[in-house]
Amino acid sequence: MSTAQTIREAVAAVDRLREESRAAPRIAQAVTQLKRFQAARFAGTYADLLASGIHGAAARFFLEELYSERDYGERDAQFARIAGAVEKLFPRDIAQTAAALAGLHALTESLDHAMARALPSPDLPDAGAYVRAWKDVGRREDRQRQLEDVLAIGAEMTRLTRLPGLRTMLKMMRRPAAAAGLSSLQRFLESGFDTFAGVARQRGGAEYFLQTIREREQQLIALLFDQEPVACETELRRILGQAR
């Protein structure tokens, strides 16, 4: 499948979920509150990385671009409108990263909407409600794929920072990207490039960061699928306490 087609299908899947939310305001509110809970969970799980001089920027990038409650509608609209331009304007490696991001976004939204439908209330969930919704939804393979996709994008961003001249090329893409309506995607790519370039300057910094994400998220997935609800709730409350 071409990069453009991958992007179009991913954005179409997200649009269908947005249509559902517009038709059911309760679901829309529950999705927003769920994302807020998950952002707080991420902030607690990675409080040490967020406070780190070496890894803080990368952790904030993950939090803001992959785990936040931000509305990505503008970026999605750009993707859908000119998906073909991504292939034509950006270098192949960058275009493929954009397609991977679109696919990850669609998977994440699918999981979040499924969780939102399983929550008993559209209000901010507590640890107990979150655990029950997680176990009701299941989809362990999709959770694992979500983690692998996040790590793959991080690893690819790191690899791209080591390609000679790519940062200069990205800078030169600003005007063409803006003219094509790809300014939101351009900002994401530049921000990701600069963030991981900073981490990669420290020997083993990027590898340590991504391995930490893998280990902690894998532990959380195992906890929420394999342990009794009370143990899951206790651990989530501990994590959320670290976020404050």
User: Which residue type sits at 9?
Assistant: E
A 10 A CB-CB count for 168 gives: 9
| Residue carrying the six token digits 């059911």 | 24
Give me the percent of the chain exceeding a pLDDT of 90.
Answer: 43
**pLDDT for position 110:** 95
A 10 A CB-CB count for 112 gives: 19
**pLDDT for position 1:** 67
Compute the C-alpha angle 51/52/58, nearest 5°: 95
For the chain, the helix, strand and coil percentages under 3-state DSSP, each to the nearest 5? 80, 0, 20
Assign 159 a pLDDT band (cuts: 50, 70, 90): confident
Determine the average pLDDT of the residues in 171-198.
75
Q: Which two tokens stand for residue 136?
A: 């009701």
Query: pLDDT for 90-127, tens place per residue?
Result: 677 777 887 888 888 899 999 999 999 999 999 999 99
Nearest to 3 by CA among 105, 82, 107: 82
Compute the C-alpha angle 66/38/237, nearest 5°: 145
CA distance 156 to 137: 30
Nearest to 36 by CA among 170, 164, 126: 126
Question: Which distant-in-sequence residues (6+ apart) come within 8 Å of 114 by Cβ?
Answer: 137, 139
| Residue 203: DSSP 8-state | T
Give me the percent of the chain exceeding a pLDDT of 70.
Answer: 87
Nearest to 104 by CA among 14, 225, 2: 14
Find how far residue 44's CA is from the centre of its chain: 16
CA distance 184 to 74: 7
| Residue 67: DSSP 8-state | S
Contact 128, 225 (CB under 8 A): no
Query: pLDDT for 131-146, tens place per residue?
Result: 999 999 999 999 999 9
| Span of 144-158, 186-200, 204-218 with lowest mean pLDDT | 186-200
Find how far residue 110's CA is from the centre of its chain: 12
| Residue 139: DSSP 8-state | -
**pLDDT for position 10:** 86
92-118 and 140-161 helices cross at what angle (nearest 10)? 150
